[in-house]
Each structure stands twice: as C-alpha cells, then as structure tokens.
A and B are shown apart, each in its own frame.
Chain A
Amino acid sequence: MKAVGGEGMPIEVLLVEDSPGDVRLTQEAFRDANKSVHLHVASDGVEAMAFLRHEGAHVHAPRPDLILLDLNLPKMDGREVLAKIKKDDSLKTIPTIILTTSEAEADIVKGYQLQANCYLTKPGQLEAFESLVKSINDFWLTKVKLPRQRQSA
C-alpha cells in the first residue's frame, strides 16, 4: 500500500477532455491544489486508450494514479473508455472519475454500472470548480490508499 505520490514522487493524473478551455481550467486548478500533480491530457477516447496501453507516441507514458474522464468525446466516448478500462485487469484498479457537465440520471446510472469510481459534474462557477478539484486532490490523491500496482504493472 502507498499513499499516492509519497516521498516527493510526482502524482500522475490523466485528464481525458476534448475542450481546451476545460483542460486549461483543470490545469490552473491543480496548480493551486497540488504542485506535485503531473497532468497528462488525452483529447479523445482513442488517445486515452493509447496512453494507458503505452501505444504509439505514448510508449513512455506513465501509469496514471487517477483518471479524470469526460463523457462526451470525439472518436470514442467516455463510456466506451470506461468500459475498456474496467475490463482490463491491469487498468481496472486505477480510480476513474467521471467529470462531466451532464446531470442526466441516465448518464449517472450508466457511469456507475460501468464501475466508475465516482461521478462528478463540472460546476458553472470558477470557485466551485476549484474547490471540486481540491476535493479530488484531498481525497483521491491524498487520503485514499491504493495498491502498489504502479511498480508491478
């Protein structure tokens, strides 16, 4: 067991998000929340899977400690990405958080059916968004214990 990061190790977070505005906002918020976070960005589902499977340009991609996943993405949407992650023995232990604007009950139910670790909606106000990212950091990247899979994978 390890606390994520631990002893000055960088924390690797994969953000799967197609909107550049959202990417930048998330970067800004993590910069305030935790300087040890390395935020990697995949702008569609296909790229996210390539990153996670170290394919193509992502041969040297680190295994993320956390995945933040938008639902509506080009090429392969977030639901498909989530299904693939949770079917893959080496990937399914990575906490995967849905981070979306959709408040539709159907999306929420589907997210949990596909084994999302939690479902969060993006708040409309800057401060609320920053506080959400801070909560993610305080819980998923600080308090949560995760298996030592980074080394063994």
Chain B
Amino acid sequence: MTAAIRDITRRKEDEAHLLQKVEELNRSNEELGQFAYVASHDLQEPLRMVASYTQLLSRRYKGKLGSDADEFIAFAVDGASRMQRLIQDLLAYSRVGTKGMELLDTSSEAALQQALINLRGAIEESGALVTHDALPTVPADEMQLIQLFQNLVGNAIKYQNPGVPRVHISAAKNGGKKWIFSVQDNGLGIDSQYFERIFGVFQRLHKREEFAGTGIGLAICKKIVERHGGSISVESQPGQGSTFRFALAGSERKS
C-alpha cells in the first residue's frame, strides 16, 4: 500500500520535473532564436559600412594604388559581400522560427505555382522542365510552404548536369493517412554519406566557384517541415538525380 503511494508520488515528481525541463528548453530555444534575429539585424549596420566603403575604395582607387592594393581591396569587397549574404540567410533561417504561424487549409498546388513564379528567372535560364501531379490541400503556413517548394525546386534546377533539368513534384498518401510530397530531379545526385549533413546550417558540398550560395536552403526546408511537425529526407545516387520527400504532420486531412 505505502509502496504504491510512494510509486505514484515518485511518478508525479518525475512528470513535474519533465515538464519543467521542457519549459526550460522551450525558453532557451526562443531566446536563441531571438538572439540570432537581433544579432543579424544589428550586425548588418556596420557591415553595410564596410561593404559600401570598400566598394567605393575599389571604384575610385582601382589601378592607382598598385596591384597588391587592388587585390587586397578585392578580397575585402568579396568578404564583406559574402558576410552580408550569410547574415541575410541566417536572418531568413531564424525568421522561420520567430514568426508565428497559423496552419490553415492550404492548396499545395497553388503554393507550388507561386514558388514556380518566384523561380521564373532560374527556370527560363536553365530551360528546366518542371512538371507536377495534382497536389492536395493540407493544413500549412502558406508562406512557408511556398518557400519550401521554392528551395527544393530551386536546388533541383541549380545542381545539374549539362542538359535539360527535369523536376517532378508529386504527392502520395502514406498508408491512407499522411500526404508524402516528393520533389524528384535528374541532377547531380548526392553521395549517401552526406544525406544528413546537407540539412545543416551553412553546409555545402561544392566550392563557391562551382555553385554560389551559403548552404542555408535545405536547413530552412528542414526547419519549416519540423515546424509543421513533419520530417524531410533525401534519396539519391550520384549521377542519378535526387528525390526529396517530406511529410507535414496533420496532413491526414481531406484532399
């Protein structure tokens, strides 16, 4: 009898302890998000000065201070511009977490269409053929769903062999419940050892000279999907193209 009571007391204490830990974690997560947001905002100001003035130096004094000076200034200009892009991407990444979101019934097909409109330049330039099946309505934050499609389709077009990039977007029900979305391409493909790493912040598999970018795109995708309570993964072989799949939790609603 007393043992049973002791058990219950113990369990209650454990539960309270766990709840407290969860709360602490939530708070520190929130603080971290805010820190990234504020830091990147306030960092942009002095960096804009460095970027603008090194650019001004370069324009006014190029060829007048000797070739060493030209080279040094060029490195400074490039470094400042790169840091600006990094900070902007960090800001975009932290924004996914700090903005409140509302999950409303959203046409994923309309979200994809908007993403394709945003990518019009890249699609026209590459001559990519982007096709898709009929896509369902799912509970989602529309802006984030657009960004998700935009990043995935954008990558599919970007990491390509010579030739016509082909991208196909589809959705299928998993065991009659969740919708699983797929973005399939015929691009460079990815070695399986990098399947986890590519979803990390600022992780890149290519040199800057090969492909521009900071390595934030898939990290943003992962964060968006996780904020929707889902998961994202990739299946690929080098030279055989890649397929990115994601599910949004709660997407077991009507089609």
Contacts and interface: CB of A to CB of B under 8 A. Distances in A.
A54 B119 CA distance: 52
Nearest to A22: B49
Contacts of A140: none
A101 B44 contact: yes
A126 B45 contact: no
A19 B48 CA distance: 12
A126 B56 contact: yes
A124 B47 CA distance: 8
Contacts of B56: 25, 28, 126
- State the majority secondary structure of interface residues on B: helix
Interface in A118-148: 122, 124-127, 129
A19 B55 CA distance: 18
A127 B48 CA distance: 12
Contact of A125 (B41, B45, B55): B55
A127 B49 CA distance: 13
A89 B78 CA distance: 48
A25 B49 CA distance: 9
A125 B44 contact: no
A6 interface: no
Interface string B33-55: 00000000100110111011101
A19 B44 CA distance: 14
B84 interface: yes
Contact of B51 (A19, A22, A101, A126): A126
Contact of A122 (B41, B48, B53, B55): B48
Contacts of B49: 19, 21-22
Contacts, number: 33
A21 B53 contact: yes
A58 B55 CA distance: 35
Interface string B66-93: 0000000000000001001000000000
Contacts of A25: 52-53, 56
Among B45, B53, B81, the most chain A Cβ lie within 10 Å of the Cβ of B45
A126 B55 contact: yes
Contacts of A127: 55
Interface residues of A, number: 13
Contacts of B44: 101, 124
Nearest to B59: A126
A126 to B, nearest CB: 4
A102 B45 CA distance: 9
B52 A129 contact: yes
A121 to B, nearest CB: 10
Interface in B149-181: none
Of listed A125, A127, A129, residue having the most chain B CB within 10 A: A125
Given A102-B41, A124-B51, A125-B55, 18 more contacts: A21-B52, A21-B53, A25-B56, A28-B56, A101-B41, A101-B45, A122-B48, A124-B44, A124-B47, A124-B48, A124-B52, A124-B84, A125-B51, A125-B81, A126-B51, A126-B52, A126-B55, A126-B56
Interface of B: 41, 44-45, 47-49, 51-53, 55-56, 59, 81, 84
25 contacts: A19-B49, A21-B49, A21-B52, A21-B53, A22-B49, A25-B53, A25-B56, A101-B41, A101-B44, A101-B45, A101-B48, A122-B48, A124-B44, A124-B47, A124-B48, A124-B51, A124-B52, A124-B84, A125-B51, A125-B52, A125-B81, A126-B55, A126-B56, A127-B55, A129-B52
- By Cβ-Cβ distance, the 6 closest A-B pairs, closest first, are A126-B55, A21-B49, A126-B52, A124-B48, A124-B84, A101-B45
